[in-house]
């Protein structure tokens, strides 16, 4: 990526993946004032912001006119959105619920970019002896299509993401389960409570039927 200095007024802010947090921007402004901007924001070739909204807002608080930018020159297949999600997963202070939703969205984008990964998942489900990813690879070695399956494994979303952000594949799988299985109504109620950052409890909600999640939430609130 190319690094250049860009006028703050020229940077375009599109719809973000996370809501702007004023207190977070103020904390960053204090940090930047003390030790400088350690990580440039990321923009595309048209100066549209890809990642670093809070750093940009912090620079505005400090009355900066210009800011260092990494120029990310890719504009197809949701690449900008995926870059922003990666940035937030690595650097942002997210609740477990926010992280779950970002990981789920990243998986959707991955499947758009790598449709063959969906075929791999179907293959795994159809193998009666399948227990773990390592085992399906050993089984596939016996098959004439083994080379294709090995290539598909290399594009595994969970493996690639685990390597990139430093958490286990199992943790990523659990987060996606949370995002997919908890109903939008319950998510909305949860996000402003301490439950939003309690992965164990979130998994409990994700593993019960949607009509029982309401009762579970009411019980949880009484116990708080």
Domain contains 88: no
Q: For residue 6, is it within any domain?
A: yes
CATH number, residue 25: 3.90.1530.10
Residues 17 and 57 in one domain: yes
Which residue has 């019980």 as its token pair? 219
- Number of compact structural domains in the chain: 3
In a domain, 206, yes or no: yes
Give, rounded to a whole angstrom, the gap between the first and last alpha carbons of the chain: 48
| Residue 99: exposure state from Cβ atoms within 10 A (0-12, 13-18, ≥19) | buried
CA distance 154 to 176: 20
Taking only the tens of pLDDT, the chain with its 224 residues reads 568 899 999 998 876 545 677 888 898 899 998 888 888 888 888 888 877 888 999 999 999 999 999 887 554 546 777 778 888 888 778 899 999 999 998 888 877 666 555 545 544 444 444 434 333 333 333 333 333 333 334 357 888 888 888 888 899 999 999 999 998 888 888 888 888 999 999 998 899 887 888 877 776 665 55
- The answer to whether residue 83 sits within a structural domain is no
102 and 204 housed in the same domain: yes
Residues 98 and 12 in one domain: no
| Within a domain: 89 | no
In a domain, 87, yes or no: no
**Residue numbers of the domain that contains 144:** 115-154
- b/e burial code for range 133-158 (CB count within 10 A of at least 16 → b): eeebeebbeeeeeeeebeebbeebbb
108/175 same-domain check: yes
Residues 127 and 106 in one domain: no
> How far is the CA of 37 from the CAs of 26, 32, 41, 62, 79, in angstroms?
14, 5, 9, 12, 25
DSSP H or E segment with residue 154: helix 146-154
* Residue 82 counted as domain residue: no
The angle that helices 146-154 and 133-140 make with each other, rounded to 10 degrees, is: 150
Residue 35: phi and psi, rounded to 5, are -120, 0
């Amino acid at each position: 990526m190319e690094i250049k200095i860009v006028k703050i007024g020229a940077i375009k802010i599109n719809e973000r993946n996370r809501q702007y947090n004023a207190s977070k921007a103020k904390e960053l402004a204090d940090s930047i004032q003390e030790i400088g901007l350690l990580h440039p924001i990321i923009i595309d070739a048209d100066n549209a912001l890809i990642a670093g909204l809070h750093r940009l807002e912090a620079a505005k608080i400090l009355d900066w006119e210009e800011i260092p930018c990494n120029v990310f020159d890719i504009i197809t297949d949701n690449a900008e959105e995926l870059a922003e999600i990666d940035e937030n997963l690595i650097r942002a202070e997210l609740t477990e619920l926010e992280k779950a939703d970002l990981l789920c969205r990243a998986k959707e984008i991955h499947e758009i970019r790598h449709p063959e990964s969906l075929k791999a998942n179907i293959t795994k489900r159809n193998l009666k002896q399948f227990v773990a990813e390592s085992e399906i690879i050993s089984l596939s070695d016996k098959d004439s299509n083994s080379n294709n399956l090995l290539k598909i494994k290399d594009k595994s979303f969970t493996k690639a993401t685990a390597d990139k952000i430093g958490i286990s594949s199992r943790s990523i799988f659990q987060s996606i389960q949370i995002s997919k299985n908890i109903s939008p109504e319950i998510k909305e109620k949860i996000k402003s409570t301490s439950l939003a950052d309690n992965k164990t409890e979130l998994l409990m909600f994700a593993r019960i039927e949607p009509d029982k999640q309401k009762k579970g939430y009411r019980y949880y609130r009484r116990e708080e």
